[in-house]
Amino acid sequence: MKRVLIIAGETSGDLHGSALMKSMKSALPEDISFRGIGGTLMIREGLDALRHVREMNFMGFAEVIRRLPFIRRTMNELRSLLDTWRPDLVILIDYPGFNLKFAPYPKRRNIPVMYFISPQLWAWHTGRVRQVRRFVDRMVVLFDFERDFYRRYGIEADFVGHPLVETTRPALERAEFLDSLGIDGSAPIIGLFPGSRLQEIIHIFPVMADSICIMRERWGNCVALLGCAGDIDDIHYARFSGRAGIIPVRDRTYDIMAHSDVLVVTSGTATLEAGIIGTPMVIVYRTSGLTYHIGKALVNIPDIGLINIVAGSRIVPELSQDEVTPENIADHLDRFLRDDGVRSEVRASLRAAKAKLGGPGASSRAAAIAVEMMKAS
Protein backbone atom coordinates (compact mmCIF):
# COMPACT_ATOMS: atom_id res chain seq x y z
CA MET A 1 0.00 0.00 0.00
CA LYS A 2 1.43 3.36 -1.07
CA ARG A 3 0.46 6.41 0.98
CA VAL A 4 0.15 9.97 -0.37
CA LEU A 5 -0.42 13.11 1.64
CA ILE A 6 -2.04 15.62 -0.73
CA ILE A 7 -3.01 19.23 0.01
CA ALA A 8 -5.30 21.40 -2.11
CA GLY A 9 -6.81 24.43 -0.41
CA GLU A 10 -8.97 25.87 -3.20
CA THR A 11 -11.77 24.79 -5.54
CA SER A 12 -9.52 24.75 -8.62
CA GLY A 13 -6.97 22.67 -6.71
CA ASP A 14 -9.72 20.19 -5.84
CA LEU A 15 -10.54 19.83 -9.54
CA HIS A 16 -6.94 19.23 -10.61
CA GLY A 17 -6.18 17.13 -7.55
CA SER A 18 -9.06 14.75 -8.27
CA ALA A 19 -7.87 14.24 -11.87
CA LEU A 20 -4.33 13.62 -10.64
CA MET A 21 -5.53 11.09 -8.04
CA LYS A 22 -7.57 9.23 -10.65
CA SER A 23 -4.58 9.04 -13.00
CA MET A 24 -2.27 7.91 -10.19
CA LYS A 25 -4.62 5.05 -9.30
CA SER A 26 -4.63 3.95 -12.93
CA ALA A 27 -0.85 4.20 -13.23
CA LEU A 28 0.02 2.33 -10.02
CA PRO A 29 -0.78 -1.39 -9.97
CA GLU A 30 -0.75 -1.63 -6.18
CA ASP A 31 -3.24 -0.03 -3.78
CA ILE A 32 -2.80 3.64 -2.99
CA SER A 33 -4.21 5.65 -0.08
CA PHE A 34 -4.71 9.42 -0.03
CA ARG A 35 -5.03 11.64 3.03
CA GLY A 36 -4.87 15.42 3.46
CA ILE A 37 -6.91 18.44 2.39
CA GLY A 38 -9.24 18.59 -0.58
CA GLY A 39 -12.80 19.08 -1.72
CA THR A 40 -15.78 17.05 -2.86
CA LEU A 41 -14.13 15.86 -6.09
CA MET A 42 -11.01 14.62 -4.33
CA ILE A 43 -13.12 12.91 -1.65
CA ARG A 44 -14.99 11.09 -4.43
CA GLU A 45 -11.63 9.79 -5.65
CA GLY A 46 -10.89 8.35 -2.21
CA LEU A 47 -9.33 11.19 -0.21
CA ASP A 48 -9.52 10.78 3.56
CA ALA A 49 -9.94 14.51 4.19
CA LEU A 50 -8.54 16.15 7.28
CA ARG A 51 -10.13 19.42 6.09
CA HIS A 52 -12.50 20.33 3.25
CA VAL A 53 -11.40 23.11 0.89
CA ARG A 54 -14.39 25.20 1.99
CA GLU A 55 -12.69 25.51 5.40
CA MET A 56 -9.43 26.66 3.79
CA ASN A 57 -10.80 28.87 1.03
CA PHE A 58 -10.22 32.33 2.47
CA MET A 59 -8.39 35.25 0.95
CA GLY A 60 -7.02 38.66 1.92
CA PHE A 61 -4.52 39.62 4.58
CA ALA A 62 -7.11 40.54 7.20
CA GLU A 63 -8.94 37.21 6.78
CA VAL A 64 -5.69 35.23 7.06
CA ILE A 65 -4.77 37.02 10.29
CA ARG A 66 -8.21 36.31 11.73
CA ARG A 67 -7.88 32.61 10.90
CA LEU A 68 -4.32 32.15 12.18
CA PRO A 69 -5.27 29.85 15.11
CA PHE A 70 -7.14 27.56 12.70
CA ILE A 71 -4.24 27.60 10.24
CA ARG A 72 -1.73 26.70 12.95
CA ARG A 73 -3.94 23.89 14.22
CA THR A 74 -4.29 22.46 10.72
CA MET A 75 -0.54 22.72 10.11
CA ASN A 76 0.19 20.87 13.35
CA GLU A 77 -2.25 18.08 12.51
CA LEU A 78 -0.61 17.59 9.12
CA ARG A 79 2.84 17.54 10.72
CA SER A 80 1.62 14.84 13.07
CA LEU A 81 0.41 12.79 10.08
CA LEU A 82 3.94 12.86 8.65
CA ASP A 83 5.17 10.98 11.73
CA THR A 84 2.23 8.70 12.49
CA TRP A 85 1.14 7.78 8.95
CA ARG A 86 4.52 8.21 7.22
CA PRO A 87 3.46 8.94 3.62
CA ASP A 88 5.58 7.81 0.66
CA LEU A 89 5.00 11.13 -1.10
CA VAL A 90 3.66 14.61 -0.34
CA ILE A 91 1.86 16.42 -3.16
CA LEU A 92 1.23 20.15 -2.75
CA ILE A 93 -1.26 21.76 -5.12
CA ASP A 94 -0.90 25.54 -5.60
CA TYR A 95 -2.15 27.32 -2.40
CA PRO A 96 1.30 28.83 -1.69
CA GLY A 97 0.57 30.74 1.52
CA PHE A 98 -0.01 27.44 3.26
CA ASN A 99 1.83 24.87 1.16
CA LEU A 100 5.19 26.61 1.00
CA LYS A 101 5.14 26.92 4.79
CA PHE A 102 4.37 23.22 5.11
CA ALA A 103 6.95 22.03 2.55
CA PRO A 104 9.97 22.04 4.93
CA TYR A 105 8.36 19.50 7.28
CA PRO A 106 8.22 16.49 4.91
CA LYS A 107 11.56 17.47 3.41
CA ARG A 108 13.24 17.32 6.84
CA ARG A 109 11.80 13.83 7.29
CA ASN A 110 13.22 12.70 3.92
CA ILE A 111 9.73 12.36 2.44
CA PRO A 112 9.78 13.46 -1.23
CA VAL A 113 7.78 16.57 -2.10
CA MET A 114 6.09 17.15 -5.44
CA TYR A 115 4.55 20.57 -6.12
CA PHE A 116 1.80 20.28 -8.71
CA ILE A 117 0.59 23.60 -10.15
CA SER A 118 3.17 26.24 -9.41
CA PRO A 119 2.32 29.18 -7.19
CA GLN A 120 2.31 32.38 -9.21
CA LEU A 121 5.81 33.32 -8.07
CA TRP A 122 6.42 34.84 -11.51
CA ALA A 123 3.78 37.45 -10.65
CA TRP A 124 4.84 38.24 -7.09
CA HIS A 125 7.02 37.00 -4.25
CA THR A 126 9.92 35.88 -6.45
CA GLY A 127 11.88 35.58 -3.19
CA ARG A 128 9.91 32.42 -2.47
CA VAL A 129 11.78 30.68 -5.28
CA ARG A 130 14.49 29.96 -2.70
CA GLN A 131 11.94 27.95 -0.71
CA VAL A 132 11.11 25.92 -3.81
CA ARG A 133 14.79 25.18 -4.41
CA ARG A 134 15.31 24.04 -0.81
CA PHE A 135 12.15 22.10 -0.02
CA VAL A 136 10.55 20.88 -3.28
CA ASP A 137 11.96 17.83 -5.10
CA ARG A 138 9.91 18.19 -8.30
CA MET A 139 8.02 21.25 -9.49
CA VAL A 140 5.35 20.23 -12.02
CA VAL A 141 3.98 23.19 -13.98
CA LEU A 142 1.00 23.76 -16.27
CA PHE A 143 2.37 26.62 -18.39
CA ASP A 144 5.46 26.59 -20.58
CA PHE A 145 6.46 30.10 -19.45
CA GLU A 146 6.64 28.77 -15.87
CA ARG A 147 9.27 26.23 -16.91
CA ASP A 148 11.32 29.08 -18.40
CA PHE A 149 10.83 31.14 -15.22
CA TYR A 150 12.22 28.41 -12.95
CA ARG A 151 15.14 27.73 -15.27
CA ARG A 152 16.25 31.33 -14.79
CA TYR A 153 16.66 30.46 -11.11
CA GLY A 154 18.48 27.19 -11.76
CA ILE A 155 15.44 24.97 -11.07
CA GLU A 156 14.35 22.31 -13.53
CA ALA A 157 10.55 22.19 -13.73
CA ASP A 158 8.45 19.57 -15.52
CA PHE A 159 5.96 21.09 -17.98
CA VAL A 160 3.01 18.70 -18.38
CA GLY A 161 0.47 21.01 -20.01
CA HIS A 162 -2.86 22.05 -18.53
CA PRO A 163 -5.45 19.43 -17.46
CA LEU A 164 -8.27 21.79 -18.38
CA VAL A 165 -7.49 21.39 -22.09
CA GLU A 166 -9.10 17.95 -22.15
CA THR A 167 -11.89 18.52 -19.62
CA THR A 168 -13.18 21.97 -20.52
CA ARG A 169 -16.07 21.35 -22.87
CA PRO A 170 -19.86 21.75 -22.70
CA ALA A 171 -22.01 18.74 -21.85
CA LEU A 172 -24.99 19.86 -23.96
CA GLU A 173 -25.50 21.31 -27.41
CA ARG A 174 -26.70 24.92 -27.46
CA ALA A 175 -30.34 24.17 -28.35
CA GLU A 176 -30.59 21.44 -25.71
CA PHE A 177 -29.02 23.64 -23.04
CA LEU A 178 -31.24 26.65 -23.75
CA ASP A 179 -34.32 24.45 -23.90
CA SER A 180 -33.47 23.00 -20.47
CA LEU A 181 -33.61 26.54 -19.07
CA GLY A 182 -36.69 27.63 -21.05
CA ILE A 183 -34.71 30.14 -23.12
CA ASP A 184 -35.51 30.65 -26.80
CA GLY A 185 -32.08 32.11 -27.71
CA SER A 186 -33.40 35.17 -29.54
CA ALA A 187 -31.93 37.65 -27.04
CA PRO A 188 -28.23 38.16 -26.23
CA ILE A 189 -26.97 35.78 -23.52
CA ILE A 190 -24.51 37.01 -20.90
CA GLY A 191 -22.76 34.54 -18.58
CA LEU A 192 -21.71 35.72 -15.11
CA PHE A 193 -19.01 34.08 -12.98
CA PRO A 194 -18.45 36.08 -9.78
CA GLY A 195 -15.91 33.63 -8.29
CA SER A 196 -15.71 30.56 -6.10
CA ARG A 197 -15.00 32.30 -2.78
CA LEU A 198 -17.68 33.95 -0.68
CA GLN A 199 -15.57 37.08 -0.31
CA GLU A 200 -15.30 37.42 -4.09
CA ILE A 201 -19.06 37.08 -4.48
CA ILE A 202 -19.71 39.71 -1.80
CA HIS A 203 -17.38 42.20 -3.48
CA ILE A 204 -18.15 41.48 -7.14
CA PHE A 205 -21.58 39.95 -7.74
CA PRO A 206 -23.63 43.06 -6.79
CA VAL A 207 -21.70 45.07 -9.40
CA MET A 208 -22.25 42.38 -12.02
CA ALA A 209 -25.97 42.39 -11.23
CA ASP A 210 -26.15 46.17 -11.62
CA SER A 211 -24.39 45.90 -14.99
CA ILE A 212 -27.17 43.56 -16.16
CA CYS A 213 -29.77 46.15 -15.16
CA ILE A 214 -27.93 48.66 -17.38
CA MET A 215 -27.77 46.18 -20.25
CA ARG A 216 -31.52 45.62 -20.04
CA GLU A 217 -32.08 49.38 -20.23
CA ARG A 218 -29.89 49.57 -23.35
CA TRP A 219 -31.02 46.42 -25.13
CA GLY A 220 -34.60 46.08 -23.97
CA ASN A 221 -33.99 42.39 -23.40
CA CYS A 222 -31.07 40.10 -22.64
CA VAL A 223 -30.60 36.88 -20.72
CA ALA A 224 -28.13 36.70 -17.83
CA LEU A 225 -27.03 33.28 -16.58
CA LEU A 226 -25.23 32.99 -13.24
CA GLY A 227 -22.65 30.23 -12.83
CA CYS A 228 -23.05 29.30 -9.15
CA ALA A 229 -20.02 27.99 -7.28
CA GLY A 230 -20.54 24.52 -5.86
CA ASP A 231 -19.83 25.34 -2.22
CA ILE A 232 -21.67 28.70 -2.07
CA ASP A 233 -25.23 28.65 -0.69
CA ASP A 234 -28.03 30.05 -2.86
CA ILE A 235 -28.85 32.66 -0.23
CA HIS A 236 -25.67 34.58 -1.09
CA TYR A 237 -26.82 34.97 -4.70
CA ALA A 238 -30.56 35.47 -4.21
CA ARG A 239 -30.55 39.06 -3.00
CA PHE A 240 -29.02 40.43 -6.20
CA SER A 241 -29.92 37.86 -8.84
CA GLY A 242 -33.65 38.31 -8.26
CA ARG A 243 -33.55 42.08 -8.58
CA ALA A 244 -31.67 41.91 -11.88
CA GLY A 245 -33.66 38.98 -13.29
CA ILE A 246 -30.54 36.80 -13.40
CA ILE A 247 -31.06 33.04 -13.79
CA PRO A 248 -28.91 31.03 -11.32
CA VAL A 249 -27.54 27.80 -12.84
CA ARG A 250 -25.66 25.08 -10.98
CA ASP A 251 -23.35 22.39 -12.35
CA ARG A 252 -23.42 23.81 -15.87
CA THR A 253 -20.29 25.98 -15.89
CA TYR A 254 -19.00 24.93 -19.29
CA ASP A 255 -22.43 25.00 -20.89
CA ILE A 256 -22.88 28.60 -19.75
CA MET A 257 -19.42 29.53 -21.01
CA ALA A 258 -19.89 27.85 -24.38
CA HIS A 259 -23.43 29.00 -25.14
CA SER A 260 -23.29 32.60 -23.90
CA ASP A 261 -22.48 35.36 -26.36
CA VAL A 262 -20.18 37.10 -23.87
CA LEU A 263 -19.04 36.57 -20.27
CA VAL A 264 -18.11 38.53 -17.17
CA VAL A 265 -15.55 36.50 -15.23
CA THR A 266 -13.79 37.11 -11.93
CA SER A 267 -10.03 36.74 -12.26
CA GLY A 268 -8.92 33.17 -11.57
CA THR A 269 -9.07 29.73 -13.16
CA ALA A 270 -12.46 30.53 -14.72
CA THR A 271 -10.79 32.99 -17.11
CA LEU A 272 -8.65 30.13 -18.41
CA GLU A 273 -11.67 27.83 -18.77
CA ALA A 274 -13.59 30.50 -20.68
CA GLY A 275 -10.51 31.11 -22.84
CA ILE A 276 -10.20 27.41 -23.69
CA ILE A 277 -13.86 27.34 -24.72
CA GLY A 278 -13.26 30.52 -26.70
CA THR A 279 -15.99 32.90 -25.57
CA PRO A 280 -15.18 36.65 -25.39
CA MET A 281 -15.15 37.93 -21.82
CA VAL A 282 -14.59 40.86 -19.50
CA ILE A 283 -12.27 39.97 -16.61
CA VAL A 284 -12.94 41.69 -13.28
CA TYR A 285 -11.16 41.70 -9.94
CA ARG A 286 -12.21 43.44 -6.75
CA THR A 287 -11.27 42.89 -3.12
CA SER A 288 -10.85 44.86 0.11
CA GLY A 289 -8.89 48.10 -0.19
CA LEU A 290 -6.12 46.90 2.13
CA THR A 291 -5.61 43.60 0.29
CA TYR A 292 -5.66 45.32 -3.10
CA HIS A 293 -3.08 47.97 -2.26
CA ILE A 294 -0.72 45.51 -0.59
CA GLY A 295 -1.08 43.12 -3.53
CA LYS A 296 -0.57 45.87 -6.10
CA ALA A 297 2.72 46.80 -4.46
CA LEU A 298 3.94 43.20 -4.75
CA VAL A 299 2.68 42.17 -8.20
CA ASN A 300 5.12 42.77 -11.05
CA ILE A 301 3.08 41.80 -14.14
CA PRO A 302 0.72 44.05 -16.14
CA ASP A 303 -2.25 41.66 -16.42
CA ILE A 304 -4.30 39.78 -13.82
CA GLY A 305 -6.33 37.43 -16.03
CA LEU A 306 -4.73 34.00 -16.55
CA ILE A 307 -5.79 33.83 -20.19
CA ASN A 308 -4.13 37.19 -20.88
CA ILE A 309 -0.98 36.06 -19.06
CA VAL A 310 -0.84 32.87 -21.12
CA ALA A 311 -1.39 34.86 -24.33
CA GLY A 312 1.40 37.28 -23.44
CA SER A 313 -0.82 40.31 -24.12
CA ARG A 314 -4.21 41.70 -23.11
CA ILE A 315 -6.50 39.94 -25.57
CA VAL A 316 -9.63 40.49 -23.44
CA PRO A 317 -10.37 43.57 -21.31
CA GLU A 318 -9.64 43.67 -17.58
CA LEU A 319 -11.19 45.84 -14.88
CA SER A 320 -9.76 45.98 -11.36
CA GLN A 321 -10.85 47.53 -8.08
CA ASP A 322 -12.30 51.04 -8.68
CA GLU A 323 -12.62 50.29 -12.40
CA VAL A 324 -15.14 47.55 -11.57
CA THR A 325 -18.34 49.57 -12.01
CA PRO A 326 -21.66 48.57 -13.60
CA GLU A 327 -21.16 51.17 -16.32
CA ASN A 328 -17.66 49.97 -17.27
CA ILE A 329 -18.74 46.34 -17.40
CA ALA A 330 -21.81 47.21 -19.48
CA ASP A 331 -19.72 49.29 -21.92
CA HIS A 332 -17.42 46.32 -22.62
CA LEU A 333 -20.38 43.96 -23.00
CA ASP A 334 -22.00 46.42 -25.38
CA ARG A 335 -18.91 46.56 -27.57
CA PHE A 336 -18.67 42.78 -27.82
CA LEU A 337 -22.36 42.33 -28.62
CA ARG A 338 -22.52 45.11 -31.22
CA ASP A 339 -19.27 44.39 -33.11
CA ASP A 340 -18.97 41.00 -34.84
CA GLY A 341 -15.44 41.87 -35.95
CA VAL A 342 -14.24 42.42 -32.39
CA ARG A 343 -15.77 39.11 -31.27
CA SER A 344 -14.12 37.25 -34.16
CA GLU A 345 -10.74 38.80 -33.43
CA VAL A 346 -10.94 37.87 -29.75
CA ARG A 347 -12.00 34.30 -30.55
CA ALA A 348 -8.96 33.91 -32.83
CA SER A 349 -6.65 35.24 -30.11
CA LEU A 350 -8.18 32.85 -27.57
CA ARG A 351 -7.54 29.90 -29.90
CA ALA A 352 -3.88 30.92 -30.18
CA ALA A 353 -3.60 31.19 -26.38
CA LYS A 354 -5.18 27.75 -25.93
CA ALA A 355 -2.51 26.24 -28.20
CA LYS A 356 0.13 27.29 -25.65
CA LEU A 357 -1.44 25.09 -22.97
CA GLY A 358 -0.22 21.79 -24.43
CA GLY A 359 -2.17 18.76 -25.56
CA PRO A 360 -4.38 16.26 -23.75
CA GLY A 361 -2.93 14.00 -21.05
CA ALA A 362 -1.57 16.53 -18.53
CA SER A 363 -2.93 14.67 -15.48
CA SER A 364 -1.48 11.37 -16.74
CA ARG A 365 1.93 12.96 -17.27
CA ALA A 366 1.85 14.47 -13.76
CA ALA A 367 0.75 11.11 -12.32
CA ALA A 368 3.70 9.38 -14.00
CA ILE A 369 6.07 11.78 -12.23
CA ALA A 370 4.35 11.13 -8.87
CA VAL A 371 4.55 7.36 -9.31
CA GLU A 372 8.22 7.63 -10.32
CA MET A 373 8.94 9.62 -7.14
CA MET A 374 7.20 7.03 -4.94
CA LYS A 375 9.12 4.16 -6.50
CA ALA A 376 12.42 6.00 -5.95
CA SER A 377 11.68 6.83 -2.30
Residue extents of the structural domains in the chain:
2-163+361-376, 174-355
With H, G, I as helix, E, B as strand and everything else as coil, classify residue 207. Answer: helix
What is the pLDDT confidence band of residue 125, given thresholds at 50, 70 and 90? low
How is the beta sheet containing 262-266 ordered, strand by strand?
A: 247-249, 223-227, 189-193, 262-266, 281-285, 318-320
C-alpha neighbours within 13 Å on the C-beta side of residue 5: 26
36 φ, ψ to 5°?
A: 140, -135
Please say if the pLDDT value at position 16 is more than 70.
Answer: yes
With H, G, I as helix, E, B as strand and everything else as coil, classify residue 263. Answer: strand
By residue count, the chain amounts to 377
User: Would you state the pLDDT for residue 11?
Assistant: 85
User: Would you state the pLDDT for residue 179?
Assistant: 96
User: Would you state the pLDDT for residue 290?
Assistant: 57
User: Would you state the pLDDT for residue 230?
Assistant: 77
Closest CA to 206 of 239, 234, 176, 235: 239
CATH topology for 174-355 is Rossmann fold (3.40.50)
pTM, two decimals, is 0.79
The model's pLDDT over 156-178, given as tens digits with 9 standing for 90+, comes to 899 999 999 988 999 999 999 99
Share of the chain above pLDDT 90, in %: 72
The model's pLDDT over 329-363, given as tens digits with 9 standing for 90+, comes to 999 999 999 999 999 999 999 999 999 999 999 99
Please say if the pLDDT value at position 64 is more than 80.
Answer: no
The model's pLDDT over 257-276, given as tens digits with 9 standing for 90+, comes to 999 999 999 998 899 999 99
304 φ, ψ to 5°?
A: -110, -25
The model's pLDDT over 203-244, given as tens digits with 9 standing for 90+, comes to 899 999 999 999 999 998 899 999 998 778 888 888 888 877
Domain 2-163+361-376 has CATH 3.30.230.30: no
Please say if the pLDDT value at position 294 is more than 60.
Answer: no
* Strands of 102-142, DSSP E: 113-116, 138-141
What is the pLDDT confidence band of residue 50, given thresholds at 50, 70 and 90? very high
Q: How far apart are CA 293 and CA 165, in angstroms?
A: 33
User: Would you state the pLDDT for residue 56?
Assistant: 85
Please say if the pLDDT value at position 247 is more than 70.
Answer: yes
Q: Are the CB atoms for 82 and 107 separated by under 8 Å?
A: no
Please say if the pLDDT value at position 63 is more than 70.
Answer: no
Burial 138-149 (b: 16+ CB within 10 A, else e): bbbbbbbebbeb
Report in angstroms the alpha-carbon separations of 7 from 115, 199, 364.
10, 22, 19
Burial 348-374 (b: 16+ CB within 10 A, else e): ebbeebbeebbeebbbbbbbbbbbebb
191-196: average pLDDT: 94
